[in-house]
Amino acid sequence: MQVTIDVTRHTDASCASRDLAVRCTNCNLRELCLPQGMAQDEVQKINGLVTTRRRVKKGESLQHAGEPFKSLYAVRSGSFKTCIATEDGRDQVTGFKMSGEIIGLDGIGTNSHIIDVIALEDSEVCAIPFSRLEEVSREIAGLQKQFHRIMSREIVGEQGVMVLLGSMRAEERVATFLVNLSRRFRARGYSATEFHLRMTREEIGSYLGLKLETVSRVMSRFHDVGLIKINQKHVLILNPEGLQEAASPSTAGH
């Protein structure tokens, strides 16, 4: 599944300079990305880390399993799904990435990527060469600490998915998924109760370990009981507290 990434190119050096002018210092996602909690002078120092901004069209790949690991990618806009090929040839969705999150951490240990990353919509990322990131991290303690925090967040997230797949019923899995999306949208300054699903129900099912029909049935049930209002991919959370209760194994009925 080799797809060429659409990289923005300029023939004029001044145009290229303007294209990369909006970096960490004045990016509205800085509190969600690598420079979180850093002083202004430290953020200025790491501006040079972003060497390229890439535009990736919907359905195209940002990275492929087996490719050499060279860079991390901070999602500037849009969203992606991460997936891994199973032994029987299926693509298992392992996560969804949105603005302010980091892609590419899977390649650090082995110097090659183990997952595919595909854009769910027209998106843009900031490329951060890892070798350069390591150099600057040795100079700025805050950057190294934040990077470790991001890696820790990834580990905790993976553990959360294991809990989802191992101990929750279908209703609890779908409710937890929607609650998590709500929180992530709120952290980015968007509505926590009204949003558009960029992923398909089949992709949600792959991520949650459920069949497509089960995901559709559960969402329809949530709609019928007044927890959410759903119109194709548009979601309106009508009862946030009730949805949170549905996500909790301790309160959900069996």
Lowest-pLDDT range of 30-39, 47-56, 123-132: 30-39
Given this model, what pLDDT does residue 231 score? 94
Encode pLDDT of 15-24 as tens digits.
343 444 446 6
The arithmetic mean of pLDDT across residues 215-225, rounded, is 97
Neighbours of 234 (CB within 10 A): 11
* Contact assessment for residue 106 and residue 162, using Cβ atoms and an 8 Å cutoff: no
pLDDT of residue 35: 65
Residue 225 has pLDDT above 80, yes or no: yes
Q: Which domains does the chain have, with CATH numbers?
A: 13-141 (2.60.120.10), 168-246 (1.10.10.10)
- Confidence tier at 34 by pLDDT (50, 70, 90): low
99 pLDDT higher than 60: yes
| Edge-to-edge strands, sheet with 194-196 | 194-196, 234-237, 228-231
133-154 tens-digit pLDDT: 888 888 777 777 777 787 777 7
- Higher pLDDT, residue 16 or 229: 229
Proportion of the chain above pLDDT 70, given as a percent:
81
pLDDT in tens, 179-204: 999 999 998 889 999 999 999 999 99
Beta carbons of 174 and 219 less than 8 angstroms apart: yes
Mean local confidence (pLDDT), 78-88: 91
Mean pLDDT of 88-106: 90
- pTM confidence score: 0.80
pLDDT at 89: 78
CA distance linking residue 97 with residue 103, whole number of Å:
8
Count CB neighbours of 181 within 10 A.
20
